[in-house]
């Protein structure tokens, strides 16, 4: 049976729940409040990375408070102290030997042929002891957490959801999770991450919607032209086919190559060339680029998962962690409306 959290834990969590409380004014004008939410809307996405850093700091502090609360709660139930509780866990740990330290040292210093000194071995031994004790304590606290009902109300910072309204998209408009992609067609990491995006699409199906935004990097001389070609293909309803072709052909993205790909996809070449040669989609690329720089995105790839920023060619597990939380959030919101 799941045990409910104690008053101690409720107090610890409540102390960190300011963002979930009713709006608090940051200023008033003749009694009319200007709230923190008003301020955030005015600032927009310019400070998103700073807010993410602050959120991560608060998240670590909150996690430490919860750990402390569940330990205090467990100690109270057992009629002991937290210090004695942890000492009992530590006593069960199989401590490493000097031979363990030697093996670990050699594994972490493969290029050093000389035998480690006694001082180096004992430093390694101390590290292994701390590591094993830390792992044991962490596993114990995780188990205590699982036995309690813990709700976290700390909200992650999000970019404006208006960024999801522009750009070629695939997936249902009603999907509970939208991933906005900021990609460069000449970026090898952007090509690599296509496998991850395909895997996510296969795993989550209609629960995901993808929106593409261009973010050509200045150091990639063919990236701008490739982006314009893709958006010209979009005018003929063939963006995603061109998207796939470009990422599969990154070694050949010259103008003649781009026109050839349009022909291979069966596009109206006359209309495509008029669009491409006339740089008719350049303003679209410029708007995408401005939005990317507005988020302080200095490189591609980058993603917004329901507004939460994820940078680099992240593995599926990183996407899944956010997606799963967003799906839970959506399900909880749907349940509360019934």
Same structural domain for residues 199 and 294? yes
Residue-level pLDDT at 113? 82
| Domain total in the chain | 2
pLDDT tens-digit readout, 123-142: 999 999 999 999 999 999 99
pLDDT tens-digit readout, 239-282: 999 999 999 999 999 999 999 999 999 999 999 999 999 999 99
Same structural domain for residues 138 and 191? no
20 falls in which pLDDT band (50, 70, 90)?
very low
Question: CA-CA distances (angstroms) from residue 19 to 27, 49, 90, 149?
Answer: 17, 18, 37, 20
Please state the three-class secondary structure of the chain as a single string.
Answer: CCECCCHHHHHHHHCCCHHHCCCCEEEEECCEEEEHHHHHHHHCCCCHHHHHHHHHHHHHHHHHHHHHHHHHHHHHHHCCCHHHHHHHHHHCCCCCCHHHHHHHHHHHCCCCCCCCCHHHHHHHHHHHHHHHHHHHHHHHHHHHHHCECCCCCCCCCCCCHHHHHCCCEECCCCCCEEEEEEECCCCHHHHHHHHHHHHHHHHHHHHEEEEEEECCCCCCCCHHHHHHHHHHHHCCCCHHHHHHHHHCCCCCCCHHHHHHHHHHCCCCHHHHHHHHHCCCCHHHHHHHHHHHHHCCCCCCCEEEECCEEEECCCCHHHHHHHHHHHHHHHHHHHHHCC
Residue 154 placed within a domain = no
Query: What mean pLDDT do residues 211-237 have?
Result: 97
**Residue 262 contacts residue 272 (beta carbons within 8 Å):** yes
CA proximity to 178, closest of 314, 288, 311, 305: 305
Strand partners, 180: 211, 304
Residue-level pLDDT at 111? 87
Residue 156 placed within a domain = no
Given 146, 173, 198, the domain boundary residue is 146
Residue-level pLDDT at 311? 93
Same structural domain for residues 200 and 306? yes
Residue-level pLDDT at 75? 97
Q: Give CA 19 to chain center in angstroms.
A: 20
Q: What is the CA radius of gyration of the chain?
A: 27
Q: What is the CATH number of the domain that holds 186?
A: 3.40.30.10
Same structural domain for residues 329 and 188? yes
CA proximity to 193, closest of 307, 311, 321, 288: 311
Q: Which domain holds residue 189?
A: 161-336
Query: What mean pLDDT do residues 65-74 have?
Result: 96
Same structural domain for residues 34 and 175? no
CA atoms of 87 and 85, how far apart (whole Å): 5
Residue 11: pLDDT over 50: no
Given 86, 116, 146, the domain boundary residue is 146
Same structural domain for residues 52 and 88? yes
Residue 15 placed within a domain = yes
Same structural domain for residues 12 and 120? yes
19 falls in which pLDDT band (50, 70, 90)?
very low
Residue 36: pLDDT over 80: no
Same structural domain for residues 53 and 81? yes
Neighbouring CB atoms inside 10 A of 185's CB total 28
Same structural domain for residues 305 and 182? yes
Residue 271 placed within a domain = yes
37 falls in which pLDDT band (50, 70, 90)?
low
Residue-level pLDDT at 17? 37
Query: Two tokens at 327?
Result: 């799906």
**Residue 70 contacts residue 85 (beta carbons within 8 Å):** no
pLDDT tens-digit readout, 270-285: 999 999 999 999 999 9
CA atoms of 239 and 230, how far apart (whole Å): 6
pLDDT tens-digit readout, 160-185: 888 899 999 999 999 999 999 999 99
Strand partners, 213: 182
Query: Two tokens at 159?
Result: 């970019």
Residue 113 placed within a domain = yes
Same structural domain for residues 90 and 211? no
Query: Two tokens at 190?
Result: 């952007």
Query: Two tokens at 26?
Result: 């940051």
Residue 153 placed within a domain = no
Same structural domain for residues 199 and 86? no
Residue 30 placed within a domain = yes
Residue-level pLDDT at 112? 85
Q: What interhelical angle do 188-204 and 316-336 show, nearest 10?
A: 40
Residue 44: pLDDT over 80: no
Residue 206: pLDDT over 90: yes
Residue 155 placed within a domain = no
Query: What mean pLDDT do residues 320-329 have?
Result: 94
Same structural domain for residues 172 and 139? no
Given 111, 146, 181, the domain boundary residue is 146
């Amino acid at each position: 049976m799941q045990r409910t959290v104690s008053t101690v834990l409720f107090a610890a969590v409540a102390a960190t729940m300011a963002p979930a409380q009713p709006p608090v004014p940051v200023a008033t004008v003749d009694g009319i409040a200007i709230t923190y939410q008003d301020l955030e809307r005015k600032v927009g996405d310019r400070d998103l990375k700073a807010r993410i850093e602050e959120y991560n700091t608060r998240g670590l502090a909150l996690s430490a408070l919860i750990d402390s609360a569940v330990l205090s709660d467990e100690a109270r139930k057992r009629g002991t102290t937290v210090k004695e509780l942890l000492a009992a866990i530590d006593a069960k740990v199989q401590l490493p030997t000097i031979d363990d330290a030697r093996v670990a040292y050699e594994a972490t210093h493969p290029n050093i042929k000389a035998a480690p000194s006694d001082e180096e071995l004992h430093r390694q031994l101390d590290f292994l002891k701390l590591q094993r004790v830390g792992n044991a304590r962490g596993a114990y606290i995780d188990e205590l957490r699982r036995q309690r009902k813990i709700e976290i109300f700390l909200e992650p910072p999000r970019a404006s959801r208006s960024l999801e309204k522009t750009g070629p998209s695939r997936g249902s408009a009603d999907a509970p999770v939208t991933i906005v992609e900021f990609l460069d067609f000449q970026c090898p990491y952007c090509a690599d991450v296509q496998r991850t995006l395909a895997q996510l699409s296969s795993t989550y199906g209609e629960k995901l919607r993808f929106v593409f935004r261009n973010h050509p990097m200045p150091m990639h001389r063919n990236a701008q032209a490739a982006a314009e070609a893709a958006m010209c293909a979009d005018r003929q309803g063939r963006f995603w086919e061109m998207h796939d072709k470009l990422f599969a052909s990154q070694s050949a993205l010259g103008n003649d190559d781009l026109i050839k790909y349009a022909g291979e996809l069966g596009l109206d070449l006359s209309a495509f060339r008029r669009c491409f040669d006339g740089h008719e989609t350049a303003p679209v690329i410029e708007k995408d680029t401005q939005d990317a720089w507005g988020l302080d995105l200095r490189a591609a790839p980058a993603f917004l998962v329901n507004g939460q920023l994820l940078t680099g060619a992240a593995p599926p597990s990183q996407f899944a962690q956010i997606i799963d939380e967003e799906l839970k959030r959506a399900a909880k919101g749907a349940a509360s409306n019934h």
